[in-house]
């Protein structure tokens, strides 16, 4: 049985703030262990920068298990193989955000669709109704994550009553599609909120050094996707030694339906 064919166990923590101190510590240890395996290379057990850096990260207010609004845990039997931590914030009364602060998948489970499934499980109909129009935000140095997010936006938009528009879009010419000025301005504000003092290049959407304060936690930072153009864009624009990443914004809004009194197509009467 291949990795993609296996059945996995999903567990959603809907109220992380209510986690006990013991459970929060247990999850912190599990997150650090998985993150080190993912970013520390073959000798991850002895790669101290990742061990120490991720420990500091997951014990920093905002990234502790109890600080998330939702957590998705994915297990292969009893082994934690993926987790996603989501928070919500508002920049102002008109701009609401769902922020995937962290998403980690063990390297051998890449391309098993775990991030897509985790995000879909977070976006329950009840939760979406509470939020209304919002922006989904993430940042990544991983071309696989970018391509997974792009696929998710297309698929979710095609099969729901929501319109999802993702920024930035990498073209076949290894450039970015034109981005509206208001989205660039919003991206700058978002980057300052989630990565204070790190900066964002609005031309490339590169979020500078957003993990740098935690040291060189990514020993092997490059994970190639099936799209060579996306891989090339990441190679050309990111400085992995600086812990750079691409900022991703997805505008999510209810799809407009024609009023009840508006004439409908009569194709079915032919």
> What pLDDT band is residue 162 in, cutting at 50, 70 and 90?
confident
Of residues 256 and 211, more confidently modeled: 211
pLDDT, position 220: 63
Q: What is the mean pLDDT of residues 61-76?
A: 95
- Predicted confidence (pLDDT) per residue in 134-154, tens digit: 999 999 998 988 998 998 889
Task: Kindly list the distances between the CA atom of residue 112 and the CA atoms of 34, 88, 183, 207, 266, in Å, as whole numbers in the listed order.
Answer: 16, 27, 32, 27, 43
SS3 171: coil
Give the chain's mean pLDDT.
87
Q: What is the mean pLDDT of residues 210-229?
A: 84
Query: All domains of the chain, ordered by start, with CATH?
Result: 3-254 (3.40.630.30)
Q: Where are the beta strands (DSSP E) in the chain?
A: 9-13, 70-76, 79-92, 95-105, 134-140, 162-167, 200-201, 206-207, 245-254
pTM value? 0.85
- Predicted confidence (pLDDT) per residue in 80-129, tens digit: 999 999 999 999 999 999 999 998 998 888 878 888 888 877 776 666 66
């Amino acid at each position: 049985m291949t990795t993609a064919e296996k059945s996995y166990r999903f567990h959603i923590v809907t109220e992380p703030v209510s986690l006990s101190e013991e459970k929060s510590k247990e999850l912190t240890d599990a997150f650090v262990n998985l993150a080190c395996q993912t970013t520390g290379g073959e000798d991850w057990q002895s790669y101290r920068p990742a061990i120490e850096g991720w420990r500091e990260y997951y014990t920093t207010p905002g990234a502790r298990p109890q600080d998330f609004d939702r957590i998705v845990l994915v297990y292969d039997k009893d082994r934690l193989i993926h987790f996603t931590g989501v928070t919500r914030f508002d920049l102002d009364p008109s701009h609401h955000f769902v922020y995937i602060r962290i998403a980690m998948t063990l390297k051998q489970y890449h391309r098993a669709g775990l991030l897509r499934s985790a995000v879909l499980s977070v976006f329950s109909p009840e939760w979406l109704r509470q939020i209304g129009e919002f922006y989904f935000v993430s940042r990544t140095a991983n071309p696989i994550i970018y391509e997974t997010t792009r696929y998710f936006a297309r698929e979710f938009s095609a099969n729901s009553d929501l319109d999802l528009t993702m920024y930035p879009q990498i073209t076949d010419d290894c450039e970015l599609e034109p981005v509206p000025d208001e989205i660039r301005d919003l991206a700058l504000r978002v980057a300052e909120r989630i990565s204070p003092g790190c900066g964002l290049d609005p031309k490339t959407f590169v979020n500078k050094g957003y993990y740098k304060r935690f040291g060189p936690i990514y020993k092997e930072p490059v994970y190639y996707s099936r799209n060579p153009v996306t891989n090339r864009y990441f190679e050309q624009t990111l400085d992995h030694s600086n812990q750079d990443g691409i900022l991703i914004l997805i505008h999510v809004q209810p799809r407009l339906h024609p009023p009840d009194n508006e004439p409908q197509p009569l194709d079915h009467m032919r």
